[in-house]
Amino acid sequence: MAALKHIVGSVAVITIRNPPVNALSPQVQVSLMEVLKDVTLDPSVKAIVLCGENGKFSGGADIRTFSKTDPKTDIKRMSLDDVNSVAERSRKPVVAAVEGVALGGGLELALACHYRIAHVKARVGLTEVLLGLLPGAGGTQRLPRLIGVPAALDMITTGKIVPAPVAVKLGIVDSVTEGSAVEEAIHLAQKVVGQPLESRRICSKPIQCPPNVDSLLNDAKVKLKKQFRGAESHQVCVEAIRAAVQLPFAEGIVKERELFLSLFNSDQAKACQYAFFAERSVAKWTTPSGANWKSASPQTIRTAAVIGLGTMGQGIAVSLAKAQIQVIAVEQDEQQLEKGSKAVTAILERETLKKQQFELAHKSDSFGSVTFTLDFNALKNADLVIEAVYENMALKKEIFQRLSSICKPGAFLCTNTSGLDIDEIASVTDRPHLVIGTHFFSPAHLMKLLEVVRGYHSSSTIISTVMNLSKVLNKVGVVVDNCPLFVGNRLLLPYINQAVFLLEDGRTPEEVDQVLEEFGYAMGPFRMSDLAGLDIGWRSRMEFGLTGPKLLPGAPVRQREGKRYSPLPDILCEEGRFGQKSGKGWYQYETVGGRNAARDPWVHNFLHEYRRAHAIKQKNVSQGEILEWCLYPLINEGFKVLEDGIASGPEDIDVIYNNGYGWPRHKGGPMFYASMIGLPRVLVKLEEFYKNNPDIPSLKPSNLLKALVKQGSPPLKEWRSQLGYPNSRL
């Protein structure tokens, strides 16, 4: 039975049972319906308590069943909404005992109950929008009636999850307990037996609308359009709330259903649900040698050290402190230490304020302490060290040599690098098996992604420890193999190069950015490069002799070793245009460090002169071609990464792109996107591009892509078998 019943006095306690998160699968819904009807008819039962097994109310509808559901028949036959209305119409009081989580359909079920008691650590939210859907079991009609339109609009359109103390202030739950929510709910249920229920039925509540409700909804749509470019579900959620505002409850439910069905089978919903499971699947890492998440023994990190308090080091220190880890932050000179400590303290103060505001000053766990020091010996007690100095192999090796002699045996040594060789760094230590790459993304206290780069000798213990740490830091860790630039930046390189070639061929930064932003990227390649800093790539190209003093004399301006090369980004840097940090790059900014990119006539004039000087003929490229020209080489590199065994599956690449590179989640990730548009199309286009541009090797189609097309383009979940890995569980 998916819903169990036991009787306490005159109270029937119905427990949802579907481990691990008590998802409301169709079977659970049927079972709930039966038990609910049963107890409503049972004269000995005077009140009902609804709870979930193992301290979790419910993680919502069972997402895994969505792809197997035919919306035309299955959803109409039986839906969670039917269960909810039976609970709400019941003449016996129904109390929801919310422990753990009540998310999506879980919260919608709780909203249909007459009372809600939550454990203080419980979290609630209508998260459907993040799955490309809307709360289709009455959530869009009940929540605005319960907590008002503005608060409901915020929660429903963002999928925000709130802790119980916030939920009680908002009016979502009636009270919070530090003890057992089930006991408390039984107690309440007994107390309210016989009391009138009409005022407790949210469906009967009149909706409180602010006078400017129309403009509130319209403004929300504009804001959401900017925040979630191209994503439909956020917009449709607003329309469902508009229905709540304009229509009586029963009609609103009909409209909600209609809007829900318009999203249910969409490609965007499929992409978001794929992204959800892909994130879960990367946690279950495995290495070619057979080490895996199940058999490894992760260690708990209580004290961590950060070396280098530049932008990355600051963010990493804050991230650790926010996770209640004690941090030792080390710098090499007094001035850097003072600058770094001021920055870390300021960010931590802002984060504390945010946390307090969010939790409405409810007592909450404080952050870990951060000790700032110049003394390397202070690292001797650290469980784990993250070196975050700038990208210079010699400097990193010198630090790791010192760490070997200072750190306690067993301490884990991590290097925050975006592409340097982990094995070379590990080779200078006394413990290569305890060395690993941790590629954080800036700002490190906010960005979700952590690329965990295993070296040749990295043990399963360090991999699992860092993967566990990523969860503790509220990040998504993805294990990848060691290769130049790892996974994320390796795919980024051809994408950026292609975008720059477009400038040579006659396009402008604004035109290219617009196409990629309309596709859904948070920022186009030029805006993003300005944000990241153009000097980073420039220094690395100088290091590799592609430009600057190490460049071989006589090298053609637009070629390196016979391959097409654009010196445009180098010239910008030579002009002191490093992006936002210098107030100018591909765009101009209002001030040094400014955020608002504006068209820069200097850049346009410079591009014009450059094309004239090199006699480059302008090409007519459509918006669709700009998109394919930039994205297909990125996807192609993804296939090469899979071929090389650097990422263990397409999901890993997609999770990296969704969480670290601003890829629109509603397009699933680059590999998922390729599977949706069709591998043959990607292959044909790459072949055409490569034929016309044989001097751009990244356009040469990967063998894996060709092999998959030859096999009839199997679904993404079967690609792994081509690589010798077991197929995806998705």
Residues classed as catalytic: 108, 128
Q: Which is nearer to ligand LH2STWOF, 61 or 95 (CB)?
A: 61
**Residue choice 3, 23, 166, 259 for contact with ligand LH2STWOF (CB under 6 A):** 23
CB within 8 Å of 108: residues ≥ 6 apart: 80, 84, 126, 135, 137, 138, 139, 142
Residues 88-107 that bind ligand LH2STWOF (CB under 6 A): 101, 103-105
Residues 280-309 that bind ligand LH2STWOF (CB under 6 A): 280
Minimum Å gap between C-beta 113 and ligand LH2STWOF is 16
Half-sphere exposure of 195 (CA within 13 A, CB side): 15
Q: Which is nearer to ligand LH2STWOF, 477 or 494 (CB)?
A: 477
Distances from the Cα of 709 to the Cα of 4, 208, 448, 714, 721, angstroms: 49, 56, 33, 8, 14
CA distance 333 to 205: 64
* Burial status of residue 339 (CB atoms within 10 A of its CB: 0-12, 13-18, 19 or more): middle
- Both tokens of 541, joined, read 């190209």
Taking residues 690 to 719 in sequence order and writing x for each that binds ligand LH2STWOF by CB under 6 A, - otherwise, the string is ------------------------------
Q: Which is nearer to ligand LH2STWOF, 138 or 494 (CB)?
A: 138
Q: What is the DSSP string of 233-288?
A: HHHHHHHHHHHHHHS-HHHHHHHHHHHHHHHHT-HHHHHHHHHHHHHHHHTS-B-T
Q: Which is nearer to ligand LH2STWOF, 137 or 705 (CB)?
A: 137
CA distance 225 to 235: 7
Amino acid at 315: G
CA distance 190 to 353: 41
Minimum Å gap between C-beta 60 and ligand LH2STWOF is 3
Write the Ramachandran bin of 662: left for phi over 0, alpha for psi from -120 to 50, otherwise beta: left
Residues 50-89 that bind ligand LH2STWOF (CB under 6 A): 59-64, 80
Minimum Å gap between C-beta 58 and ligand LH2STWOF is 8
Count other C-beta atoms under 10 Å from residue 20's C-beta. Answer: 8
CB within 8 Å of 197: residues ≥ 6 apart: 90, 91, 93, 114
CA distance 687 to 220: 43
Minimum Å gap between C-beta 71 and ligand LH2STWOF is 11
Angle among Cα 472, 474, 480 to the nearest 5 degrees reads: 85
Minimum Å gap between C-beta 235 and ligand LH2STWOF is 17
Residues 117-146 that bind ligand LH2STWOF (CB under 6 A): 127-128, 131, 133, 136-137
- Starting at the earlier edge strand, list the strands of the sheet with 384-387: 370-373, 326-330, 303-307, 384-387, 412-415, 435-440, 449-454, 476-481
Minimum Å gap between C-beta 632 and ligand LH2STWOF is 30
Minimum Å gap between C-beta 300 and ligand LH2STWOF is 17
Q: Does 49 bind ligand LH2STWOF (CB under 6 A)?
A: no
List the end-to-end C-alpha distance of the chain, in Å, as a whole number: 26
Q: Which is nearer to ligand LH2STWOF, 281 or 702 (CB)?
A: 281
Distances from the Cα of 91 to the Cα of 36, 43, 422, angstroms: 12, 12, 66
| Helical packing angle, 488-504 and 601-613, nearest 10° | 70
Minimum Å gap between C-beta 352 and ligand LH2STWOF is 25
Taking residues 254 to 283 in sequence order and writing x for each that binds ligand LH2STWOF by CB under 6 A, - otherwise, the string is -----------------------x--x---
Q: Which is nearer to ligand LH2STWOF, 128 or 535 (CB)?
A: 128
CA 216 to chain centre: 27
Q: Which is nearer to ligand LH2STWOF, 75 or 379 (CB)?
A: 75
CA distance 92 to 84: 14
Q: Does 21 bind ligand LH2STWOF (CB under 6 A)?
A: yes
Q: Which is nearer to ligand LH2STWOF, 309 or 730 (CB)?
A: 730
Residues that bind ligand LH2STWOF (CB under 6 A): 20-21, 23, 59-64, 80, 101, 103-105, 127-128, 131, 133, 136-137, 277, 280
